[in-house]
């Protein structure tokens, strides 16, 4: 059992917002399970019972001003703890020992968001928006400030993809980057629970593809819908269920939008295949959850979770915009059997392993700088 103290700095921790926020809460709980005494500095903590709380004041004003106030307050909190306990920050805050950007690095996130636009005009407008949006500019400048200097924090990359971003965008050498792959809370998945398709109206003999996205465009959902619709008589029993905001246009008969889903693991247990043809993901949670449940996966090279995928477990596509490639991948991946992950495989994608590596790295960094 590890013991010690750790300061964690975070933004929003509401799991309803998406995977990044849920990952923060799961990591806090995993730290607590390891015996680490965590103090969480965050604006409005949600269900963060595993940590002591320092509320961060975002002040008043517009979004950019509130974000600036939040970062300034977080910087003061980090300075107060500097040298006494190690600091892990999910926000670009000066003085922290470890910087873990759960959304990946801002230049890459903005570029890949633009790439997900179907037209050149849309891509150009998205790029301009990112460049002139005051909140995005602030976050980019803050990140550049802490990573651009020699005395900045160690960057914790959730995947090899994020480590590569650090080299391309900030020129960071190996001494400033550590890969600590993402993990998920395995107990929440309940792999031994029965797979019940009844609530979703899907026949037992159907080939069920599941997708999940809070940002459908970025996660390649329009391309996925088109690819599934194109299957026609080639795969007449194939059904696609999408957890996340519904699209405005009418969906094909073999595509079903569920809206937000509270119990995503229950849906994944029913799946024959997870399709996540994302344009950008530092290390997708839903892919890790599917792998932990033995569900074959389709994703892309722009997803850091591809680190975990072998040919027996799924398919990694090069181009998320290619409907033809995605259609072919569905036909091939649908023939892959579900697998029973080994203990070693499950440990590799667990939040416990993730938190253990983070804690060991935090202690090591504190010893070097303390």
pLDDT tens digits, the chain, 370 residues: what are they? 457 999 999 987 666 666 788 888 899 999 999 999 999 999 876 666 667 889 888 778 888 899 999 999 999 999 999 989 999 999 999 999 999 999 999 999 999 999 999 889 988 888 888 788 899 999 999 999 999 888 899 999 999 999 999 999 999 999 999 999 999 999 989 888 999 999 999 999 999 999 999 999 999 999 999 999 999 888 889 999 999 887 766 678 889 999 888 899 999 999 999 999 999 999 999 999 999 999 999 999 999 999 999 999 999 999 999 999 999 999 999 999 988 888 899 999 999 999 999 999 999 887 665 5
One of 3.30.70.1400, 3.40.50.2000, 3.30.1180.10, 1.10.3760.10 is the CATH number of 189-348, namely 3.40.50.2000
Q: Record the tokens describing residue 115, joined without a space.
A: 């790439």
Rounded to 10 degrees, what is the CA torsion of 270, 23, 14, 64? -130
Which residues are CB-neighbours of 244 under 8 A, at least 6 positions away? 211, 212, 213, 214, 216, 221, 257, 258, 259, 260, 261
Residue with tokens 């996966």: 297
State residue 96's pLDDT score.
Answer: 95
Written as one string, the DSSP assignment of 31-95 is HHHTTEEEEEEESS-SS-TTSEEEEPP--SSSHHHHHHHHHHHHHHHHHHHTTTS-EEESS--TT
State residue 182's pLDDT score.
Answer: 96
Residue 23 is given by DSSP the state H
Beta strands in the chain (DSSP E): 4-9, 36-42, 52-55, 87-89, 98-99, 154-157, 177-179, 207-212, 238-243, 255-259, 273-275, 297-300, 314-317
State residue 159's pLDDT score.
Answer: 98
Residue 67 and residue 139 in contact, taking contact as beta carbons nearer than 8 Å: yes
Task: Give the CA angle between residues 298, 252, 268 to the nearest 5°.
Answer: 40
Q: Which fold has domain 4-185+350-369?
A: Rossmann fold (3.40.50)
State residue 1's pLDDT score.
Answer: 44
Distance CA 37, CA 23 (A): 18
State residue 255's pLDDT score.
Answer: 92
Which residues are CB-neighbours of 52 under 8 A, at least 6 positions away? 37, 38, 39, 40
pTM of the full structure: 0.92
Residue 333 and residue 313 in contact, taking contact as beta carbons nearer than 8 Å: no
Q: Phi and psi dihedrals of 287, rounded to 5?
A: -65, -45
Distance CA 316, CA 73 (A): 41
Where does residue 340 rank: exposed (0-12), middle (13-18), buried (19+ CB within 10 A)?
exposed
Task: Give the CA angle between residues 313, 194, 268 to the nearest 5°.
Answer: 40
State residue 15's pLDDT score.
Answer: 61
Delimit the CATH 3.40.50.2000 region(s) of the chain: 4-185+350-369, 189-348
Distance CA 362, CA 317 (A): 35
């Amino acid at each position: 059992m590890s013991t010690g103290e750790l300061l964690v700095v975070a933004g929003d921790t509401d799991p309803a917002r998406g995977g990044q926020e849920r990952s923060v809460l799961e990591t806090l709980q995993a730290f607590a399970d390891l015996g680490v005494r965590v103090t969480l500095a965050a604006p409005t903590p949600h269900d963060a019972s595993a940590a002591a709380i320092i509320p961060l004041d975002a002040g008043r004003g517009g979004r950019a001003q509130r974000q600036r106030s939040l970062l300034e307050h977080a910087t003061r909190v980090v300075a107060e703890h500097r040298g006494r306990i190690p600091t892990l920050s999910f926000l670009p805050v000066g003085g922290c020992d470890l910087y873990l950007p759960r959304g990946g690095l801002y230049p890459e996130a903005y570029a890949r968001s633009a790439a997900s636009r179907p037209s050149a005009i849309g891509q150009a407008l998205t790029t301009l928006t990112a460049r002139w949006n005051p909140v995005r500019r602030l976050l980019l400048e803050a990140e550049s400030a802490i990573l651009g200097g020699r005395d900045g924090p160690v960057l914790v990359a959730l995947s090899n993809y994020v480590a590569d971003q650090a080299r391309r965008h900030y020129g960071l050498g190996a001494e400033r980057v550590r890969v600590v792959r993402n993990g998920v809370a395995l107990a929440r998945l309940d792999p031994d629970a029965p797979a019940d398709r009844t609530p979703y109206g899907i026949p037992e003999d159907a080939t069920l593809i599941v997708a999940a996205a809070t940002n459908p465009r970025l996660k390649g959902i329009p391309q996925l819908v088109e690819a599934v619709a194109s299957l026609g008589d080639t795969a007449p029993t194939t059904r696609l269920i999408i957890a996340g905001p519904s699209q405005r246009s009418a969906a094909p008969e073999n595509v079903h939008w569920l809206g937000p889903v509270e119990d995503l693991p229950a849906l994944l247990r029913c799946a024959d295949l997870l399709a996540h043809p994302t344009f950008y993901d530092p290390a997708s949670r839903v892919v890790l959850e599917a792998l932990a449940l033995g569900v074959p996966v389709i994703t892309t090279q722009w997803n850091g979770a591809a680190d975990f995928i072998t040919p027996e477990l799924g398919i990694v596509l090069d181009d998320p915009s290619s409907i033809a490639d995605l259609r072919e991948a569905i036909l091939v991946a649908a023939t892959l059997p579900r697998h029973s992950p080994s203990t070693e495989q499950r440990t590799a994608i667990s939040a416990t392993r993730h938190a253990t590596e983070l804690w060991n790295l935090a202690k090591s960094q504190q010893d070097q700088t303390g």
